[in-house]
Structure 1
Amino acid sequence: MKGIILAGGSGTRLYPLTKAISKQMLPIYDKPMIYYPLSVLMLAGIKEVLIISTPRDIAAFEELLGDGSDYGMKFEYIIQEKPNGLAEAFVLGEEFIGKSSVALVLGDNIFYGSDFGNRLQKVAASENGCTIFGCYVKDPRAYGVVEVDENRNAISIEEKPDMPKSSLAIPGLYFFSNEVIAVAKNVSPSIRGEKEITSVIEHFLNKRTLKVEILGRGLAWLDTGTHESLLDASNFVEAIQKRQGLYIACIEEIAYRRGYISKEKLLKLAKPLLKTEYGKYLEDISKQPQSKVFLEV
């Protein structure tokens, strides 16, 4: 399976913060926002990632992340000229995806929870149909909403409904079979002029190949679409890291614990960061007994 991070858009709801910088470059406590969706793909076992962004911002992502070799991975980059909808990611990424299955994660979504990595790996192992997630929220009207029956089978999908049929919002993380490329090509733009991801998901719903993973109380999902939610996300990450002493979305740590990079490589990555707590954390990880390297992250 391959992965796509959609890190485009104009970020107008966060102006003036995003007038000169990509939203996905903004800090969430101690690291750039894009580290969080990238860590999700890494936890799923995905090592080839395509990053889609705007003509203005694509070079900054390349400078930040490089070609992926620092993390034992492979990164590619492509420009989305205009925000034409999430489903366009599969059209733009057709050559990158090839004959593989693919996961799409939005660049402004943050996930955190125990055993989440193992759940992601199980979902990524399936190459059939589509798997989405359902997350309980107090007010789902601002999101896509999935309705499920008593056996957790999907019944309906709605985009930002005025009268939601359930409290299960659909976060920006989707797993698809290779069929998604053809489906996305045939999706007609909505009244907003965008190729909606909901239309793609509905195709798999109608074929009865849509699976829904319910995220329960033990998993946090945060989006960062407003100044308040941006601050909330930073405060959340700070609280967890200071309380546990374990970092969220530390891509160097994940690469090391998953065996993508060696201890020597980890220390090399830590060296220019040693004036920060982040760099010291990486150095501390390298000193742990080898038996602890493959702990869940």
Structure 2
Amino acid sequence: MKALIPAAGQGTRLYPHTHTKPKAMVRLAGKPILGHILSSLAETPIEEVVIVVGGSMQDQITEYATELFGDAFEFTFVEQERAEGLGHSIYQAESAVRGEPVLIALGDMLFENGYKQFLDAHDDCRPTDGSIGVKRVENPEHYGVVGTNDRGTIEQLVEKPSEPISDLAISGIYIVEATGMLFDALQMLVEEDIRGADAEYQLTDAFQRMVEQDCDLTTFTVENWYDCGRPETLLDANRVLLNRLETNQSNGLEESVVVPPVDFGAGVEIVNSVVGPNVSIDDGVQVENSLVRDSIVGRNAELLGVNLEVSIVGDNTTVRGKPDHLDIGANSSIQL
């Protein structure tokens, strides 16, 4: 089985941070989102990973994946030249995936317990043409949803329905055995120009086409997931992962207090400050005379005399003064 990671999205909900890096390279809890995905996949039997990239910053993804995970996986990179939706992104990987089973892991979604549990759940569903992770939610109109029969077989899939057919939300993890039928369905959507309400080709519509072609699709339960494409949920994921993962310490503490969990990059200097809990600090950061908690601080940032909480600070940013909540992109300088 291969893994397929669509990571070509523009990440508009994470502006300004994604002006200077792909969404999958936004950092939390010690590494980029993509790093957490690949680390989790490394705990499974999967050895081949296909990543869909796009845009002018795709080299950041290819270089990171091959340099840090080249010993764990054989990588194939395919390009999505135009951002036309998740279905279109998956369709670009046809030559690398068709005919083989695949686990599709969205490039901005993290799961609390990793991917091995999903492969085990899929095995429990066999024989099946594919299985989709779902979770019961209170507001299904905001998600793709599935309707199932008494045997748990999927009978209908709808993307963000105004009148939900169920409360089973698609959680962004898919395991497909019948990849030929998946790509046939995606090809039909593209050739007939069938788009969703947002004018994009939807993966949900492709699965609906598979159901109409008598594919046997089932579901498995996902307990918790984090959509890292939004600042608030990115910070939620940072908190959870910092509490679950082993964090790095800093040798650059001077008259300062660290309240765990905190993850420090290399070359970090903390002077006369209190840092933590739930803080991720990238390489080369300088913090002086500050209080920092529940935040993500980018590479080579400077925090000088600030009281920072529930904030995301971009790379190469200098913040002076006493702000409380910030969402600042890279290469910025702010004095308050």
Q: Provide TM-score, normalisation by structure 1.
A: 0.73
- What's the counterpart of residue 81 of structure 2? 81
Spell out the pairing of 1:182-193 with structure 2 (5 A cutoff): 182-187=184-189, 188-191=193-196, 192-193=198-199
User: Mean alpha-carbon deviation: is it higher for 130-139 or for 144-153?
Assistant: 144-153
Give me the whole-angstrom Cα distance separating, in 1, the residues matched to 2:67 and 2:82.
24
Instruction: Please state whether the residue corresponding to 1:222 is helix, strand or coil.
Output: strand
| Inter-partner Cα distance in structure 2 for 1:143 and 1:109 | 14
Pair 1:194 & 2:196 matched: no
Greater relative contact order (CA < 8 Å, ≥ 6 in sequence): 1
Change in Cα spacing, 1:13 to 1:68, as seen in structure 2 (3 Å) is closer
> For residues 137 and 87 of structure 2, what CA distance do their matches in structure 1 show?
24
Distance 2:40 2:211 in 1: 24
CA RMSD between the two structures: 2.9
Report matched runs for 1:146-185 at 5 Å.
146-176=146-176, 177-179=178-180, 180-185=182-187
**Would you say the 8 A contact 2:30–2:247 is kept in 1?**
no
Identity of aligned residues (%): 26
Structure-2 separation of matches of 1:105 and 1:68 = 19
SS in structure 1 of the partner of residue 224 of structure 2: strand
Tell me how far apart the structure 1 counterparts of residues 117 and 179 of structure 2 sit (CA, whole Å): 22
Distance of 1:183 and 1:37 partners within structure 2: 27
Q: CA 1:35 to 1:137, structure 2 compared with 1: closer, same or farther past 3 Å?
A: farther
One-letter amino acid matched to 2:55: P
More displaced stretch, 61-70 vs 182-191: 61-70
Shift of residue 127 of structure 1?
8.2
CA shift for structure 1 position 87 = 1.9
2:174 maps to amino acid: Y
Letter in 2 for 1:105: A
Which has more helix, going by share of residues? Answer: 1
| Distance in 1, Cα, partners of 2:205 & 2:123 | 22
The code of the aligned residue for 1:190 comes to R
Kindly indicate whether the alpha-carbon contact (under 8 Å) linking 1:54 and 1:79 is maintained by their aligned counterparts in 2.
yes
| Structure 1: gaps (5+ residues) | 248-272, 278-297
Matching of residue 204 in structure 1 with residue 232 in structure 2: no
Q: Say whether the 8 Å CA contact 2:62–2:77 is kept in structure 1.
A: yes
Structure 2 portions without partners, runs of 5+:
249-264, 269-279, 281-336
Q: Deviations over 1:179-235 (max 9, x none)?
A: 2222211114315332210111112322141111123xxx32111232111111111
| Shift in CA distance, 158/51, structure 1 to aligned 2, threshold 3 Å | same
Shift of residue 43, structure 1, vs aligned partner: 4.0
Aligned to 2:71: 71
After superposition, the Cα gap between the structure-2 partners of 1:29 and 1:67, relative to the gap in structure 1 and judged at 3 Å, is closer
CA displacement, residues 157-178 of structure 1 (integer Å, 9 cap, x when unaligned)? 1111223232221011112222
Task: Give the residue type in structure 2 aligned to 1:229.
Answer: T
- Give me the whole-angstrom Cα distance separating, in 1, the residues matched to 2:221 and 2:40: 16
Tell me the distance in 1 between the aligned counterparts of 2:244 and 2:67.
Answer: 30
Paired residue for 2:234, among 230, 236, 248?
230
Q: Is the 8 A contact 1:36 1:109 kept in 2?
A: no
**Separation (CA, whole Å) in 2 of partners of 1:155 and 1:54:** 33
Q: Is the 8 A contact 2:11 2:22 kept in 1?
A: yes
Q: Would you say the 8 A contact 1:40–1:111 is kept in 2?
A: no
SS of 1:59's partner is helix
Residue equivalent to 1:287: none
Residue in structure 2 matched with residue 54 of structure 1 by the alignment: 54
Q: Contact conserved, 2:146 with 2:166, CA < 8 A, in 1?
A: yes
Residue of structure 1 in register with 2:295 after alignment: none
Per-residue deviation at 1:69? Answer: 6.3
CA distance in 2, matches of 1:19, 1:136: 34
Which structure has the highest strand share of the two? 2
What SS class does the counterpart of residue 21 from structure 1 fall into? coil
How far did 1:5 drift? 0.5
Contact 2:22–2:61 under 8 Å retained in 1: no
2:300 is aligned to: none
| TM-score using structure 2 length | 0.65
Give the paired residue count: 246
* C-alpha spacing 1:124/1:183, structure 2 compared with 1 (3 Å): farther
Does structure 1 retain, via aligned residues, the 8 Å contact 2:105–2:173? yes
Q: 1:131 to 1:162 in 2, by over 3 A?
A: same
The worse-fitting range, judged by mean Cα deviation, of 68-77 and 228-237 is 68-77
